[in-house]
Structure 1
């Protein structure tokens, strides 16, 4: 059976797996953003806590995905919930680290100038620090999203669905059609997300800073 025939015969299930994979990525990265950006801002105001918090988040990243999924499976059972918990934990570090480094990297002169014209601390944060650090934050979201696209393929092992479901089905049945149907869209999705976030990062980078951001 050719790949085109395989896609034609399994079109509905392939689309469903792709949409579910996108959902897993979007929700987990969204949770990562909601947790990481406020926490990153908090750490810039309490720098003594930054090192241990970032170290703890980094430790989570070093735990293999299968181990984390195993623990989540024991705590939350089979399905989307344990997968989203694990993926959200993995999504946090890149965004948190880039939020923290982006804000503390804002030049003191900008902050002093803002305070010199009477801005409050909140105004300085939202009108100076966050806009100037946004390219760094978006870079963290970009890294996180690309990582999660690949890590989400493990979610198929615990019944969360997604493109990983196709890959694991193919591996267990020695069916290359399923493997390619899961692996190729996953790679393309990671490429599209990286490219789109890269364009966004460049678009929001102030002209004077365009040479200073990856």
Structure 2
């Protein structure tokens, strides 16, 4: 997968600007060239790897955070403490935690997907959990009390009343989760995995700025596409008659 190895003289601002434009144009040309998409190490393979790491982490986050958030939002018991505790985990440096987990877990080096998923999961859970609890909290209590008075049990109240009304807010949390995971999944390349982070890591090692721009552009476009898709879903999930 050849990249331009030319290096512009950056001794003056004008030449630095020209070099930046040249690097950007080279990166766009590389992405637009169909020959660079198929095959081992091609753009298609790197995109597939990046999506696999991200989808795995987001799916596990939904499995963990969504039921927990529905319970905490419905009962109101310990919601603030749990959200604060999970949110505090996001302050841990992702790259440092990834390195530590890879070395400390007995099979971390043989199966680097495990520490990578753990790190991404720590980032993915808090926004989904917070949005779920927040969405449940915005449901009007008289509506819930009316459903309970009509004979609905607690499970029916959650699934038929609170969840549909909270769905747009929950999807908003999933949007934040997906964007963070897609951006951070690039660090998986640091422990030998693939994904779009390979362009950034390999480009940095070779001082190949075009290659680094390829990775940055592809991650940005992928995140933008995911955000637009989830924004449309968020709008579609708004129950009829609900204006805010």
TM-score norm. by structure 2 comes to: 0.81
Once residues 206 and 45 of structure 1 are traced to their aligned partners in structure 2, the CA distance between those partners, rounded to angstroms, is: 19
- 1:21 maps to 50
Is 1:68–2:100 an aligned residue pair?
Answer: no
Once residues 213 and 46 of structure 2 are traced to their aligned partners in structure 1, the CA distance between those partners, rounded to angstroms, is: 13
Q: CA RMSD in A?
A: 1.7
Once residues 180 and 42 of structure 1 are traced to their aligned partners in structure 2, the CA distance between those partners, rounded to angstroms, is: 43
Offset at residue 188 of structure 1 (A): 0.2
Matches within 5 A, 1:181-192: 181-192=214-225
How many equivalent residue pairs?
A: 211
- 1:30 maps to 59
User: Kindly tell me: are residues 138 and 115 of structure 1, through their superposed partners in 2, closer, same or farther at Cα, counting changes over 3 Å?
Assistant: same
Once residues 150 and 54 of structure 1 are traced to their aligned partners in structure 2, the CA distance between those partners, rounded to angstroms, is: 22
Once residues 105 and 34 of structure 1 are traced to their aligned partners in structure 2, the CA distance between those partners, rounded to angstroms, is: 22
User: Kindly tell me: are residues 141 and 41 of structure 1, through their superposed partners in 2, closer, same or farther at Cα, counting changes over 3 Å?
Assistant: same
Is contact 1:80–1:159 with CA below 8 Å preserved after alignment?
no
Is contact 2:74–2:158 with CA below 8 Å preserved after alignment?
no
Question: The residue matched to 1:103 in structure 2 has which SS?
Answer: helix
Matches within 5 A, 1:1-214: 1=4, 2-3=26-27, 4=29, 7=33, 10-11=36-37, 12=39, 13=41, 14-76=43-105, 77-78=108-109, 79-210=112-243, 212=244
Once residues 127 and 43 of structure 1 are traced to their aligned partners in structure 2, the CA distance between those partners, rounded to angstroms, is: 17
Which structure: larger Rg? 2
Q: Deviations over 1:59-92 (max 9, x none)?
A: 1111111122122212332321111111011100
Offset at residue 18 of structure 1 (A): 0.8
Question: The residue matched to 1:206 in structure 2 has which SS?
Answer: coil
> Which protein has the bigger helix share?
1
Where structure 1 has 5 or more consecutive residues not aligned to the other structure, the ranges are none
TM-score norm. by structure 1 comes to: 0.92
Once residues 147 and 75 of structure 2 are traced to their aligned partners in structure 1, the CA distance between those partners, rounded to angstroms, is: 21
Once residues 68 and 151 of structure 2 are traced to their aligned partners in structure 1, the CA distance between those partners, rounded to angstroms, is: 26
Q: Deviations over 1:142-166 (max 9, x none)?
A: 1000011111111110112110111
